[in-house]
């Protein structure tokens, strides 16, 4: 198969529970919800599926656990026309529980599962093909993280462009020196506003490459050399669940980047696709 882009990183299952719950209410041990949905999740997986929807030929490299969720994940990739190389590890598949309450508040609980144990020995380097490598879940892939620079070095020698979303959130450990050492080799870095503040208040550290900062409902901003582009947010009244929207944004941005659009066009298209996705997942 000819590949345009390879996505490497986190794969899990998303369990989305919606409506009718107040988790701080102690009166009942058992709560009842209005809607439930199970879907493929994980930044690398979400990215792959969106890129394929946009017409790109995508290869997904990652892992699953040794359970029935593995079959669900593989079937979702087949339906999306994503070619995949998934190592089945002898651990449970990772799960993210997204709970949307009656207060229009979202809580995320994540069990890393397979993603915690996915390592360099599970990656077939020769399978990383195309013009672009997209890395997702850098800070979640505890066993692989230390070897990601080796992967980047390998693909750089092949002349590939590297994009990355490090997923620096929650209470996971974050080594700034380790991150900055890797970031020097990344061509396009996607972070959100909170991650930007955690890394540095100054964007000069990523000078000479492309830095995209996602600001949620406030839009996004991108820096490339001396060029700065911005896009305003689009108001989405009452649409709280945004799980996966950042991954869709990244895929849409890299799609346009791949096909030679300018920075502003990449940013606008990415923002539009993310909004469409949010409307879609909040419609059920």
The enclosing H or E element of 52 equals helix 43-53
Comparison of pLDDT for 34 and 78, the residue scoring more: 78
DSSP 179-244: HHHHHTT-SEEEEEHHHHHHH-S-GGGGTTSEEEEE-GGG-EEEEETTEEEEE-----TT----TT
219 within a domain of the structure (yes/no)? yes
Do 94 and 113 contact (CB within 8 A), yes or no?
Answer: yes
Residue 110 lies in a domain: no
Do 49 and 134 touch, CB atoms closer than 8 A? no
CATH number at residue 224: 3.40.1190.20
Is the overall model pTM greater than 0.75, yes or no?
A: yes
Domains identified in the chain, total number: 1
Does 143 fall in a domain? yes
pLDDT tens for each residue of 139-152: 899 999 999 999 99
Which domain covers residue 136, as residue numbers? Answer: 5-11+43-91+115-281
Residue 163: which of 48, 2, 11 has the closest Cα?
Answer: 48
What is the pLDDT, as a whole number, of residue 284?
A: 63
Rounded distance, CA 8 to CA 60, Å?
Answer: 6
In a domain, 29, yes or no: no
Q: Which residue has the higher pLDDT, 179 or 201?
A: 179
Would you say residue 98 has pLDDT above 60? yes
| C-alpha distance from residue 140 to each of 110, 165, 167, 246 (Å) | 10, 11, 7, 16
- The reply to whether 102 falls in a domain is no
* Residue 201, pLDDT score: 74
Q: At residue 218, does pLDDT exceed 60?
A: yes
């Amino acid at each position: 198969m000819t590949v345009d882009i390879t996505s490497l990183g986190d794969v899990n299952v998303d369990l989305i529970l919606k409506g009718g719950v107040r988790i701080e209410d102690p009166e009942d041990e058992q709560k009842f919800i209005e809607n439930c949905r199970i879907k493929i999740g994980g930044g690398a997986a979400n990215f792959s599926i969106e890129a394929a929807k946009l017409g790109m030929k995508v290869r997904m490299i990652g892992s699953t656990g040794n359970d029935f969720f593995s079959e669900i994940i593989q079937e979702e990739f087949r339906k999306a026309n994503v070619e995949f190389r998934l190592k089945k590890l002898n651990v449970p598949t990772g799960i993210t529980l997204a709970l949307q309450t009656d207060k229009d508040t979202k809580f995320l609980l994540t069990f890393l599962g397979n993603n915690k144990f996915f390592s360099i020995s599970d990656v077939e380097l020769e399978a990383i093909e195309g013009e672009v490598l997209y890395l997702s879940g850098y800070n979640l892939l505890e066993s692989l993280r230390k070897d990601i620079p080796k992967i980047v070095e390998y693909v750089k020698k092949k002349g590939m462009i590297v994009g990355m979303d490090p997923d620096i959130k929650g209470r996971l450990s974050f080594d700034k020196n380790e991150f900055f050492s890797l970031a020097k080799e990344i061509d396009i870095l996607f972070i959100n506003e909170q991650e930007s503040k955690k890394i540095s208040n100054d964007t000069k550290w990523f000078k000479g490459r492309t830095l995209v900062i996602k600001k949620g409902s406030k839009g996004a901003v991108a820096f490339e050399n001396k060029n700065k582009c911005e896009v305003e947010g689009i108001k989405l009244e009452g649409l709280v669940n945004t799980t996966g929207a950042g991954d869709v944004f990244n895929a849409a941005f890299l799609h346009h980047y791949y096909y030679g659009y300018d920075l502003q066009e990449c940013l606008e298209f990415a923002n539009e696709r993310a909004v469409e996705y949010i409307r879609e997942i909040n419609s059920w």
